[in-house]
Structure formats: C-alpha cells, structure tokens
Amino acid sequence: MPAAAPWPSSTRRTATGEMSIGGVAVTDLAATVGTPVYLVDEDDMRARARRMREAFTDAAGRVGTDAEVYYAGKAFLSRAVARWMVAEGLRIDTASLGELTTALEAGVEGALIGLHGNNKSDAELDLAIERGVGRIVVDSLPEVDRVARVAAVAGVVAPVMLRVTTGVHAGGHEFISTAHEDQKFGLSIHAEDERGQSPAMRALHAILSRPELDLIGIHSHIGSQILDATGFTAAAAALVELRAALERETGHLVGELDLGGGIGVAYLPGEDEPDVAAFARSIVDAVAQACRDTDTPVPHLSFEPGRSIAAPAGITLYTVGTIKDVRLEDGGHRRYVAVDGGMGDHIRTALYGAEYHAELVSRASAAAPVLCRVVGKHCESGDIVVRDVMLPGDIAAGDLLAVAATGAYGRSMASTYNLVPRPGVVAVREGTATTIVRRESVADLLALDLG
C-alpha cells in the first residue's frame, strides 16, 4: 500500500523505526552520501506525471479534443528528470536559458519544449528559435517585435502563444477575481483605454500582423498550490471568450488554450491532495461549456503542472545538531532543533511562511512528543525549516530528520547563503540510489571566486 501523504509513495518504516524510500534505508544513504540531501522517489514522480497526463488526456477526450501536459521545469529540473517526464509522455516547460539548455541537453526535442519568461534574454530567444522550440509564450507587447525579429533573422516562422491575465487569482486556499492585475506577467484581457481594446487583444492583433509569427495559442497561469478548480474554470471561460472575440474581429481561430499549472499538494499529514482526474474534468468541462456558450469549436488544450508532480515525490534528509530549549514570555518553552542545512536549501518557509512536516526517521522513539521548531545553520533568525512540529522528546544530535514534500521548489530555489554548498539530489528506486545532481563543494564555490 502506498504511504500516506505527505510522504513519497514508497516510504516505509522498518521494525526498528527506520524510514526507507524506494527500498533504500535513509541511514544507509546518510552514511554513504552524507546530509543534507534531497531524495526523490523516481517511481512516484513518474507515476504522478503519468497520472497527470492521463487525467487531462481522458478529460479532453470526453469533450472531443486532446491535451498535452508540460512539466514546469522550475519546480525541479535536471537532465534525468527531463528524460523521465518525456518518457512518461509529457513535454517540458522552461523559463530561462538554464532550464532550456538542461532540457535540450537531456535530449528533449525542441518541438516538445515551451519557453516562458516576462523578460526573456536575446540568448534565450536565439536558442529557442535555433532549436525549434514548440512554443514561445509571449509576455508583453515589445516581445512581439523581438520574437519576430529573431525569427526573421533565422528565416523561420516562430510558433507563439500569448500569456494573458484574466483577473483570476487562486492558490493558498483562496480564489479572487478582479478586473485589473497588479503583477508583472502577461497582458490583461480587460480594456484599459477609451478605445475599449484590451492590452491582450492589442498584442493578439500585433502577433497576427507579423508573418514571422504563428499564433498557436493563448495562455493563462492563475497561481500555485491551488486546491479547488473554481479559479481554473473561471479562467478557462475567460480564455474561450477572448478566443471567440478574436475570431469575430479577425477571422483567426486560435488552435490551443493553455491553462498553466498550479495544482496543489498535501504538505501536512491529514491534508487531502486534490483528485487530479476530477480536477482535470472540471477544467476541461468548463472549456467545453464556454465553447458551447460562444458557439466555437473546442480547442486543443495544454497544462503546465510542476509542484503536483515533483513536490510529494521528494524529501530532504538532515542530521540533527544543536538542540536548545528557549523560555517563552508565557512561561512555556520552545525546543529549537537545528539541522545541518536550512534556508539555503529550504527557502519557502522563510520566504512566505510555507508549512511543512518533519519526522525523526533514523530510529523509533517512545518518548512523549514535544513542540519543536526545526531551524537551520544560517546566520539569520528567520532561518526556519518547519515552524511547528511535534517531535519525540528524546530527539538528539546525530538523529536523522526528514522533511516531507520538498521535491518542488526546494533544490530549484536553493542558494549558497553563508557560502554553504547546496545539497545534491539522489533518486531512489527499487533499492538503488542514484545521484542525479551531485552535492556542491566548497571547492565549487571557490572555483567561482577569482581571488
């Protein structure tokens, strides 16, 4: 039976209380590769990718269309991960020269890659066009000319989508809808001038006027860690209406709508993960309904999940060091459990108060649990890994602690603050551990320091 969320599906506990993932005991792993280290359950990550593709393909099939799933590489990308995703029938979504190059170096065909970015560099556009990426997602009006120029120089017609903002925001358990957006991505579908033309519509017309560009789709990404499909269904209807309006104005019917990523996951025990199949059906059915309402054909669909594929398949393994009981104003105590990493490898808690779960994983303990705060080794009091968690009262230096659901936005957001090298990533599967990203060393950091 798969382990319960938020742990990877192959997580087990031996009779002595030791955790294993992918058939590899965490104590063996810590002894051979050291800590901190990120572990990824390869089979779990691949199964999540496969389920995501099947969910959207099935939902699309029910309304007479098809769907592609692009894995959002920013969640966590390495060459191995890119190959796993493509092997499971997904494509790769990238948003920088590093992500794009990593996908290409993994052997992913350009046609299966998308390029995003609100401020793409010349190098990113040049490489994308040279390697024939399947879509460049245009994010601003000036970018229409930039992409057209690069395509003209290369003598190709570049496939582009336009990223729009619908006023729909979801994530972090809330859903809001406003007419105007105060953020850097995309172009609003709402009119902002006396002529009544929206920035999105103006950009769509500009793209259609350029023979070097092929307008293949319209894109919307409404947020992240979304646990309810309502925001997606509202955005879907808005995209269908925009597509219908463009067809009325120009006769051009856009072939594809992309509804972005953002499907949420369970981070804590007892939290429910969204049912991906039901989620996919709600979104796709909303598209189909809006198409009936506007009397337009159902478009091809695409989606860009990252977190929901990567986060639950990964954990971070730390060794416990200093333990300190601090007396609180109210007379109580808080136990600070310091680990050998921290905000350098795990920024989301410090950055936006994300909640995580941790457990003692190197042994069983019958000691009564105490309220603890797991902190790192960095020189900042905000260096918190898990704000509040119950851990056995006998937790001690040398114990191994695992933090669950760190597979997305963990390694990919890591820094070398305090010149602490970043942990490596080890894939575990059927009793075998394979390092897919090696641990950084102080020598690696010094190699950049020209003295």
Ligand X SMILES: *Cc1c(COP(=O)(O)O)cnc(C)c1O
- Which residues are annotated as catalytic? 379
Decide whether 311 or 391 has the Cβ nearer to ligand X.
Answer: 311
Tell me whether residue 35 or residue 94 sits nearer to ligand X (CB atom). 94
Residues in 179-198 that interact with ligand X by CB under 6 A: none
Say if CB 269 and CB 6 are below 8 A apart.
Answer: yes
Quote the CA–CA distance of 196 and 421 in Å, as a whole number: 53
Instruction: Decide whether 137 or 372 has the Cβ nearer to ligand X.
Output: 137
| Residue whose C-alpha is closest to residue 201's, from 147, 160, 164 | 164
* CA dist., res. 259 & res. 114, Å (int): 14
Residue 231 interacting with ligand X (CB under 6 A): no
Residue 409 among known ligand-binding residues: yes
Is 380 annotated as contributing to ligand binding?
A: yes
Q: How many CB atoms lie within 10 A of CB 449?
A: 7
> Do the annotations mark residue 274 as ligand-binding?
no
Q: Which is nearer to ligand X, 15 or 352 (CB)?
A: 352
- CB-based burial label for 261 (10 Å; 0-12, 13-18, 19+): buried
Q: Which of 363, 387, 365, 356 is nearest to 269 (CA)?
A: 356
Beta carbon nearer to ligand X, 46 or 377: 46
Q: How far apart are CA 276 and CA 102, in angstroms?
A: 28
Answer for the pair 38, 423: CB distance below 8 angstroms, yes or no: yes
Chain residues 281-310 in contact with ligand X, contact rule CB under 6 A: 304-308
Of 71 and 318, CB closest to ligand X: 71
**Binding window for ligand X (CB under 6 A); candidates: 14-22, 42-50, 68-76, 321-329:** 68-76
Q: Quote the DSSP letter at residue 234.
A: H
Residues in contact with ligand X, shown as a per-residue x/- string from 401 to 440 under the rule CB under 6 A: -------x--------------------------------
Q: Which of 46, 74, 243, 373 binds ligand X (CB under 6 A)?
A: 74
- 417 annotated ligand-binding residue: no
> For residues 175 and 179, what is the distance between their CA atoms, to the nearest angstrom?
14
The residue from 46, 48, 53, 221 that contacts ligand X (CB under 6 A) is 221
DSSP string, 315-336: EEEEEEEEEEEEE-TTS-EEEE
Strand partners, 263: 226
The answer to the question of whether 262 is labelled as a binding residue is yes
| 260 counts as binding ligand X under rule CB under 6 A | yes
124 is known to lie in a ligand binding site:
no
Token output for 119 = 């401020």
| Cα distance between residue 92 and residue 305, in whole Å | 10
- Residue 271's SS3 state is coil
307 annotated to bind ligand: yes
Binding letters toward ligand X, positions 121-160, x by CB under 6 A: ----------------------------------------
| Number of other CB atoms surrounding residue 154 within 10 Å | 15
**Would you count residue 75 as binding ligand X (CB under 6 A)?**
yes
Selected from 50, 116, 373, 429, the binder of ligand X by CB under 6 A is 116
Binding-site residue ranges for pyridoxal 5'-phosphate: 262, 304-307, 409
Binding-site residues for substrate:
307, 348, 352, 380, 409
Which residues in this chain contact ligand X in the complex, by CB under 6 A? 72, 74-75, 93, 116, 221, 224, 260-263, 304-308, 408
